[in-house]
Amino acid sequence: MSQTIRKHSLTQRAVLGVYVACFAVGAFNHGRDFLSYGARPYNWAPALLEAFWSALLFLDLATIGLLLLGKLRVGLALAVAIMISDVAANSYGFFVLGIPGFKVALPLQAAFLGFVLGSAPFLWPNRETA
């Protein structure tokens, strides 16, 4: 049984709202890249990074959908996985490949990763409500 957002406290809804807003910003940015640069907006990057960054549009949207539909366990797990891998990939891009575009974005993403890791356990539904 899914748990809708309305069943959460105001604080939990606010935290979920931050998740949705931040993943929406990510989806918007990746969508803008697709519209501006075509089907392979990151073709300048190594193949694995290109594939990952291209997939983020769909992964971010899936996370938003899962959270809004009340599929919290899957949505939170996906949020954690995305943010860990995104910060790792972007750290590699910035520190190893020298991609200057991550100078501002990476600290913001790392802060959101900390927020996700710190808040996800408090949002995780218990067995009776999952």
Please indicate, yes or no, if residue 82 is contained in any of the structural domains.
yes
Q: DSSP labels for 38-92?
A: -S-TTTTS-HHHHHHHHHHHHHHHHHHHHHHTT-HHHHHHHHHHHHHHHHHHHHI
Predicted confidence (pLDDT) per residue in 56-107, tens digit? 999 999 999 999 999 999 999 999 999 999 999 999 999 999 999 999 999 9
Predicted confidence (pLDDT) per residue in 11-45, tens digit? 999 999 999 999 999 999 999 999 999 999 999 99
Q: How many domains does the chain have?
A: 1
pTM for the full model? 0.90
Please indicate, yes or no, if residue 43 is contained in any of the structural domains.
yes
Please indicate, yes or no, if residue 87 is contained in any of the structural domains.
yes
Range of the domain at 46: 5-123
Place of tokens 């995104």: 86
| Residue-level pLDDT at 4 | 55
Please indicate, yes or no, if residue 14 is contained in any of the structural domains.
yes
Please indicate, yes or no, if residue 130 is contained in any of the structural domains.
no
| Residue-level pLDDT at 119 | 98
Report residue 6's pLDDT band, with 50, 70 and 90 as the boundaries: low
